[in-house]
Amino acid sequence: MSTASLDSSAGAQRPADDVLVINSARTPASEFRHWLRLFISELRIVYRRPRNMAMLAVLAAAPIFLGIVLKFNTPGPGAGPPNGAGEFIGQVAENGVFLSLLAMFVLMTLVLPLSVAVVSGDSIAGEAGLGTLRTLLTVPAGRVRLLLTKYLMIVVFCFSACLIVAGVGLLMGSILFPIGPVTLLSGETVPLIDGLYRLLMIVVYVSLGLSALGAIGIALSTFTQHAIGVMAAILVVVVASEILDAVSQVAVIHPYLPTHFWLTFDALLRTPITWMDVWHGLASFAVYIVIFGALALARIRRANVTC
**What separation in angstroms does the CA of 137 have from each of 12, 195, 221, 226, 306?**
31, 47, 16, 18, 12
Q: Which residues of 182-201 are buried (b: 16+ CB within 10 A; e: fewer)?
A: bbbbeeeebeeeebbebbee
**Member of 110, 111, 137, 204 binding another protein (CB under 8 A):** 137
Residue 248 per-residue DSSP state: G
Least distance in angstroms from the C-beta of 111 to another protein: 23
Residue 249 as a binder of another protein (CB under 8 A): the answer is: no
**DSSP assignment string, 130-178:** HTHHHHHHHTT--HHHHHHHHHHHHHHHHHHHHHHHHHHHHHHHHHHS-
Number of CB atoms found within 10 A of residue 306's CB? 7
- In whole angstroms, give the CA distance from residue 191 to residue 97: 12
Residue 6 as a binder of another protein (CB under 8 A): the answer is: yes
Residue 1 as a binder of another protein (CB under 8 A): the answer is: yes
- In whole angstroms, give the CA distance from residue 158 to residue 214: 8
Stretch that binds another protein, among 34-42, 103-111, 227-235, 239-247 (CB under 8 A): 34-42
Helix (H, G, I), strand (E, B) or coil at 296: helix
Least distance in angstroms from the C-beta of 223 to another protein: 7
Which residue, 71 or 145, is less far from another protein as judged by CB? 145
Instruction: Show the CA angle centred on residue 198, arms to residues 197 and 204, nearest 5°.
Output: 95
Can you list the alpha helix ranges (DSSP code H) found in 25-142? 28-47, 50-72, 86-89, 97-108, 111-130, 132-138
Residue 83 as a binder of another protein (CB under 8 A): the answer is: no
Residue 305 as a binder of another protein (CB under 8 A): the answer is: yes
Residue 50 as a binder of another protein (CB under 8 A): the answer is: yes
List the one residue out of 258, 244, 254 whose CA is nearest residue 288: 258
Least distance in angstroms from the C-beta of 31 to another protein: 7
Which residue, 32 or 65, is less far from another protein as judged by CB? 32
Stretch that binds another protein, among 55-63, 67-75, 187-195, 299-307 (CB under 8 A): 299-307
Residue 155 as a binder of another protein (CB under 8 A): the answer is: no
Contact flags string 171-210 toward another protein, x per CB under 8 A: ----------------------------------------
Residue 139 as a binder of another protein (CB under 8 A): the answer is: yes
Least distance in angstroms from the C-beta of 118 to another protein: 15
**Member of 13, 23, 73, 248 binding another protein (CB under 8 A):** 23
CB of 258 closer than 8 Å to CB of 216: yes
Give, as ranges, the residues between 97 and 136 that touch another protein (CB under 8 A).
124-125, 128, 130-136
Chain mean position to CA 26? 33
Which residue, 128 or 234, is less far from another protein as judged by CB? 128
Least distance in angstroms from the C-beta of 229 to another protein: 13
Residue 26 as a binder of another protein (CB under 8 A): the answer is: yes
Helix (H, G, I), strand (E, B) or coil at 47: helix
Number of CB atoms found within 10 A of residue 151's CB? 24
Which residues in this chain contact another protein in the complex, by CB under 8 A?
Answer: 1, 3, 5-6, 9-10, 12, 14-15, 17, 19-24, 26, 31, 33-35, 37-38, 40-41, 45, 48-50, 124-125, 128, 130-142, 145-146, 222-225, 302-307
